Amino acid sequence: MYVQKGAGENLLRTHVFSATVLPFVIMTKAYRLMAKVASVRTKKVMTKKQSSSLPSLIFSIPPIVHYSLCSVHSSLFTLFSPEMAAALEITPITVLPNGPLVQLPQPEPPSVVAPIASSYNEWIRPVLDAIENLRRLNITKEGVNLPTIVVVGDQSSGKSSVLESLAGISLPRGQGICTRVPLVMRLQNHPLPTPELVLEYNAKTVSTDEEHISDDINSATDELAGTGKGISNARLTLVVKKNGVPDLTMVDLPGITRVAVHGQPEDIYDQIKNIIMEYISPEESIILNVLSATVDFSTCESIRMSQSVDKTGKRTLAVVTKADMAPQGLLEKVTANDVNIGLGYVCVRNRIGDESYEEARMEEARLFETHPLLSKIDASILGVPVLAQKLVKLQAISISKTLPEIVKKINDRLSSCLSELDNLPKTLTSVAEAMSALMHNIGLAKESLRKILLRGEFDEYPDDKQMHCTARLVDMLNQYSNDLQTCTASNPTNTKNFLVEEIKVLEEAKCIGLPNFMPRTAFLSVLHGKVKAISGIPIGFVDKVWDYLENVVTAVMMRHSEHYDLLQKSTRRAGRSLIAKMRENSVKHVMGIVEMEKLTDYTCNPEYTTEYNRLMAQKEAFKQGQDNLWNRVRLQELGEVEIGHLRQYPALETYQAFDLKMRISAYWKIVLRRLIDSTALHLQFSINNLVSNDLEKEIVTDVLGPYGGGIEKLLEESPSVSAKRDKLTSSISVLRESKEVLANIMDQVSSIGV
């Protein structure tokens, strides 16, 4: 390798010889070069005279020299293989073997972009353009995140200066928050000498120039966020096409401030934080955290935010600004890495005053080379050109990693949208189609109701236990039975007045006739009182069942008619009307049963006699207790009862009262069973009629009736379906266009030099 100082004081040239000893690509082997310094840290810069003493081997290699130019302020040069040099169209220069070096043409004016950044342009530019096309298509609204370099920093951290240095243009400056909207900066290396600057916002494209760019950004910001000091999440895009800038796309976010100043909303911090978190949370985002060398990094709010979403720091790169203002301890800060910056640090010097960008880079290079403290920092993390190099490479790596996943997400989302669109009902164009759709939807709803209400199948609602209707109806029936069995009328808790009520009833039922006959009126009187006491339970039960059935029927009908606004209204109206009628019929039915039980003491069930005989078998124990003057006696069904108070009554009356009690107890079980069985049978019969016959008639009658609007109304698509169809159509269009955009550049992704 031969490094020679060029004719210009601020220019150096690098020569890479083509030889078999360099069969592989040598990239990013950087050395710091200064115009007035005669050596590189690890290589001696040889003069032309010194070169003549080199071994002949140097001049025996093939006579092709590939070279690239590097300005002093870029601080870097790169070695390339012949193949890479050819791909980058680096000019070959012929050298005579063992002869003097041919005078090279004067280089182009210095560029702020490092050659390593330029080496990616051929591959990365089409990919970046594709990503920007996806961003313009708003693909993120479809749940697809794009690889993005997000610039964050506390207010006054020097964020704007860093971006200015990368872009080579002036951005708005001033007190308070300068960036009030997300600013998407698209930097493109441009071969023409005249830069092209364009602002894109609110579907507008505004051309500008370097002199007016700052004012135009302020005007666009005022239009997006208002003329005050508030912020907005509306995006502003700045396209910078300029010779020498790195091919980068970055999103600059408002600087973080904790205290609202005059004219700012009180929740300004929360607003800024929400915007920043929205951009840095996706795994696809690279966080460019701008830190001032003058502060303790651990106290920076931007560090806390980035750490909250990137705990390991694997996608966070830190830029340390104002290195010239606080050089003391900077080396320790960036090497200790107390705040866990996974992608490392880059230290830069901010442009000062009226310095040109070229002058600023030269001063930056001189500062880091000559400063007693800053010169100790590794050159690979110093300077804006190094930052540009790192960002371009990180961007390329991020894109190469995420693009296949983006393609997969777009394909999956497209398939999902197409499936959803296919599942939407077709647009009805005739009365015949409307009637067919009506009957089809009613048929689907009836089948669903048969499955969940009659057959006990719940495959349509596997996780919704409330729709497992047969099981829920059995639960309600069991509760109904338990309520009847445990109520006071069925299970009296007052055992102190045992047989007192029966004795009183017998006393009032006396008539002229033979003794020892049980008066039927006495039995009916006790029975009437007990039935009346429980009459509210059956009515409450059927009300509860029909409340449940109304919810179930409405839910099923709504699900099957969700795409037809008129049908939903008619279905809801018809369902409620039908349920109200059936509820009324059920209430009448159970009230009739209750009245029949009050009036009639009859059963052909042999269990009555069996139970009566079993209970009467205790009569001897009861008599024995009375004869022995016991105060208590234990009886089946009743437990331990008081009998001492019965001595005041004649023995015949107490025996008759005991007989009446046992008859009522045996018969009461029959009454309760009849109430439960008949109610269950009635409800099952009613549900079957509801599903099989009544519901369809009720809905059709409502649709065709005066409140239904006629079958023609079904031809009108509901607003919700229309909106969903439009949204899906729009999403499909965006996704298809995005798919085409990516299809055109996917083959180039594998070629990115990372």
DSSP per-residue letters across 87-132:
HTTPPEEE--TTSPPPPPPPPPPP-SS-HHHHHHHHHHHHHHHHHH
SS3 state at 145: coil
The pLDDT of residue 714 is 66
Q: Tokens representing 19?
A: 């030889």
Percentage of the chain modeled with pLDDT above 90? 32
Outline where DSSP puts E strands in 458-613.
none
Predicted confidence band of residue 685 (pLDDT cuts 50, 70, 90): very high
CB 73 within 8 A of CB 113: no
Residue with tokens 């280089």: 107
The pLDDT of residue 750 is 52
**Is the confidence at residue 708, as pLDDT, over 90?**
no
Rg, C-alpha atoms of the chain? 46
Strand 183-189 relative to strand 285-292, pairing? unpaired
The pLDDT of residue 719 is 78
Domain ranges of the chain: 3-94, 115-128+146-398, 431-721
Looking at the structure, give the CATH architecture of the domain made up of residues 115-128+146-398. 3-Layer(aba) Sandwich (3.40)
Predicted confidence band of residue 39 (pLDDT cuts 50, 70, 90): very low
SS3 state at 357: helix
- What are the residues facing 92 on neighbouring strands? 66
179-234 pLDDT, tens digit each: 889 999 988 888 888 889 999 998 889 999 988 998 999 999 999 988 888 889 98
**Is the confidence at residue 85, as pLDDT, over 70?**
no
Residue 191 or 715, more confident: 191
SS3 state at 248: strand
The pLDDT of residue 709 is 60
Q: Mean pLDDT across the stretch 488-501?
A: 78
Q: Mean pLDDT across the stretch 308-321?
A: 91
Q: Mean pLDDT across the stretch 300-320?
A: 92
519-566 pLDDT, tens digit each: 889 999 999 999 999 999 999 999 999 999 999 999 999 998 877 777
Q: Name which of 119-128, 451-460, 656-665 the model is least confident about.
A: 119-128
What amino acid is encoded at 291 in this protein?
L
Q: Mean pLDDT across the stretch 616-637?
A: 86
Q: Is the pTM of this model over 0.85?
A: no
d(CA 33, CA 274): 44
The pLDDT of residue 563 is 74
CA nearest 663: which of 462, 473, 523? 523
Residues 6 or more apart whose Cβ sits within 8 Å of residue 234: 181, 182, 201, 202, 224, 225
**Is the confidence at residue 682, as pLDDT, over 90?**
yes
Percentage of the chain modeled with pLDDT above 70? 80
95-111 pLDDT, tens digit each: 334 433 333 344 444 44
d(CA 343, CA 212): 35
> DSSP class of residue 19?
-
Predicted confidence band of residue 122 (pLDDT cuts 50, 70, 90): low
- What are the residues facing 65 on neighbouring strands? 17, 93
Strand 11-17 relative to strand 3-5, pairing? antiparallel
- The angle formed by the CA atoms of residues 152, 156 and 158, to the nearest 5 degrees, is 65
> DSSP class of residue 256?
B
**How many whole angstroms from its chain centre is CA 376?**
47
Q: Across the chain, what does the average pLDDT equal?
A: 79
The pLDDT of residue 720 is 77
CATH T-level topology, domain 431-721: Four Helix Bundle (Hemerythrin (Met), subunit A) (1.20.120)
Question: Residue 226 phi/psi, 5° resolution?
Answer: 90, 165
- What are the residues facing 16 on neighbouring strands? 66
Predicted confidence band of residue 123 (pLDDT cuts 50, 70, 90): low
- The angle formed by the CA atoms of residues 729, 568 and 422, to the nearest 5 degrees, is 25
Q: Mean pLDDT across the stretch 616-621?
A: 90
Q: Mean pLDDT across the stretch 620-641?
A: 84
- The angle formed by the CA atoms of residues 641, 644 and 646, to the nearest 5 degrees, is 95
Q: Tokens representing 63?
A: 């006579």
CA nearest 562: which of 571, 574, 549, 553? 571
CA nearest 739: which of 123, 200, 144? 144
d(CA 423, CA 191): 52
Predicted confidence band of residue 517 (pLDDT cuts 50, 70, 90): confident
Instruction: Please report which helix (H) or strand (E) contains residue 165, including its range.
Output: helix 159-167
CA torsion, ordered 185, 189, 194, 195, to nearest 10 deg? 0
**Is the confidence at residue 359, as pLDDT, over 90?**
no
Go through 494-506 and write b for each residue having 16 or more CB atoms within 10 A of its CB, e for each that does not: eeeebbebbbebb
Residue 598 or 514, more confident: 598
Residue 365 or 259, more confident: 365
431-721 has the same fold as 115-128+146-398: no
d(CA 451, CA 116): 69
